[in-house]
Amino acid sequence: MALVIGNSDYRSAPLDNPANDASDLAAALEKQGFNVLVRENVGERGLKEAVDVFAKHLQKGGIGLFFFAGHGIQLKDQNFLLPVDVGFDNEADISFKSISAEYVLSRMAEAGNRINIVILDACRNNPLAQTRKTISKGLGVMSVGRAEKGTFIAYATSPGSTAADGTGRNGLYTKHLLRSLETQDSDIDRVFGRVRTGVVQDTNGEQVPWTSSSVIGSFYFNMTEDIAALQRPAAPSLATNEVAAEAPPIPFDPAQERAFWERIKDSRNAADYIAYLEKFAGAKRAAYARWMVQKLGGTVPTALAAAPAAARPAASPTQLSLATPAAVLPAAAPPASAALPNGAVPSPGTAIQDCSDCPELVAVPAGEYVMGSGPKEKMRELDEEPAHRVRVTSALAVGKFEITKTQYAAFVKDTGRESKPGCHSTRGGFFHKNPKATWQNPGFEQKGDEPVVCVAWSDAQAYVAWLSKKTMKPYRLLNESEWEYAARAGSTGRRYWAEADDAATCRYASVADSSYKAVSPGAPLFPCSDGFAHTSPVGRFPANSYGLHDMLGNVWEWVEDCWNEGYTGAPELAVPRVSGSCNERVFRGGAWNSTPATLRSAYRDRESKDERHDNLGFRVARTLP
Q: What one-character-per-residue DSSP string does 264-325 give?
A: HTT---HHHHHHHHHHHTTSTTHHHHHHHHHHTT----GGGSS--GGG-PPPPGGG-SSS--
Question: Which residues touch 178 (CB under 8 Å, ≥6 apart)?
Answer: 24, 25, 28, 170
> Residue 364 pLDDT > 90, yes or no?
yes
Instruction: Give the tens place of pLDDT for each residue, 267-295.
Output: 767 777 787 787 788 777 787 777 777 76
* Structural domains present in the chain: 2-227 (3.40.50.1460), 232-328 (no CATH), 405-623 (3.90.1580.10)
Query: CA-CA distance, 214 to 194, in Å (whole number)?
Result: 19
Helix (H) or strand (E) holding 220: none
Distances (CA, A) of 154 to 23, 170, 343, 490: 19, 17, 40, 24
Please report the beta strands in 196-257, taking only residues with DSSP state E, as ranges in sequence order: 210-213
Of residues 45 and 136, which shows the higher confidence score? 45
> Burial level of 499, CB count in 10 A (0-12/13-18/19+)?
middle
- The answer, yes or no, to whether residue 16 has pLDDT greater than 90, is no
Q: For residue 363, which of 477, 216, 269, 486 has the smallest C-alpha distance?
A: 486
- In this prediction, residue 365 carries a pLDDT of 93
- Burial-class residue 256 by CB neighbours within 10 Å (0-12, 13-18, 19+): exposed
At residue 301, does pLDDT exceed 80?
no
Start-to-end Cα distance in the chain: 22
Buried b (16+ CB within 10 A) or exposed e, 421-447: eebbbbbeeeeeebeebbbeebbbebe
pLDDT value of residue 520? 66
* pLDDT tens per residue, range 522-531: 666 899 988 8
Whether residue 413 has pLDDT greater than 70? yes
* CA–CA distance, 535 with 516 (Å, rounded to integer): 10
In this model, does residue 500 exceed pLDDT 80? no
Task: Give which of 396, 313, 386 is closest to 565, Cα–Cα.
Answer: 386
Strands (E) across 95-232 are located at 99-100, 115-121, 135-136, 151-155, 210-213
- 3-14 pLDDT, tens digit per residue, is 999 999 988 778
Which residues, in sequence order, are CB contacts of 82 under 8 Å at separation 6+? Answer: 7, 10, 70, 71, 72, 73, 94, 98
What pLDDT sits at residue 139?
60
My answer on whether omega of the bond before 625 falls inside 30° of 0, hence cis, is yes
Identify which has the larger pLDDT, 273 or 179: 179
- At 305 the pLDDT is 64
Per-residue pLDDT, averaged over 362-368, amounts to 93
- How many whole angstroms from its chain centre is CA 499? 12
Q: How many helices (H) and strands (E) does the chain have?
A: 15, 22
Give the DSSP H/E element, type plus range, for residue 41.
Answer: none
In this model, does residue 50 exceed pLDDT 70?
Answer: yes
Which of the four pLDDT bands, split at 50, 70 and 90, describes residue 471?
very high
How high is the pLDDT of residue 147? 41
Query: Quick one: pLDDT at residue 135?
Result: 44
Query: What are the residues whose beta carbons fall under 8 Å from the beta carbon of 97, sequence distance 6 or more?
Result: 44, 83, 85, 86, 87
φ/ψ of residue 254, rounded to 5: -55, -35
Report CA torsion sign: 253, 257, 263, 264.
positive
**Residue 591 has what pLDDT?**
96
- Cα 51 to Cα 28, 97, 104, 121, 334, distances in angstroms: 20, 14, 7, 17, 35
> Which band of pLDDT confidence, cut at 50, 70 and 90, is reported for residue 123?
low
What is the residue-averaged pLDDT of the chain?
A: 81
Residue 483, pLDDT score: 98
The residue that leads in pLDDT, 339 or 225, is 225
Q: Is residue 444 left, alpha or beta, with left meaning phi > 0 and alpha meaning psi from -120 to 50? A: beta
- Residue 111 confidence (pLDDT): 81
Which long-range contacts (C-beta less than 8 Å, at least 24 apart) are formed by 43-48?
A: 43/83, 43/84, 43/85, 43/86, 44/83, 44/85, 44/86, 44/97, 44/98, 46/83, 47/5, 47/81, 47/83, 47/98, 47/99, 48/99
pLDDT above 90 covers what percent of the chain?
43
Overall average pLDDT of the 180-203 stretch: 89
How far apart (Å, rounded) are the C-alpha atoms in residues 137 and 159? 9
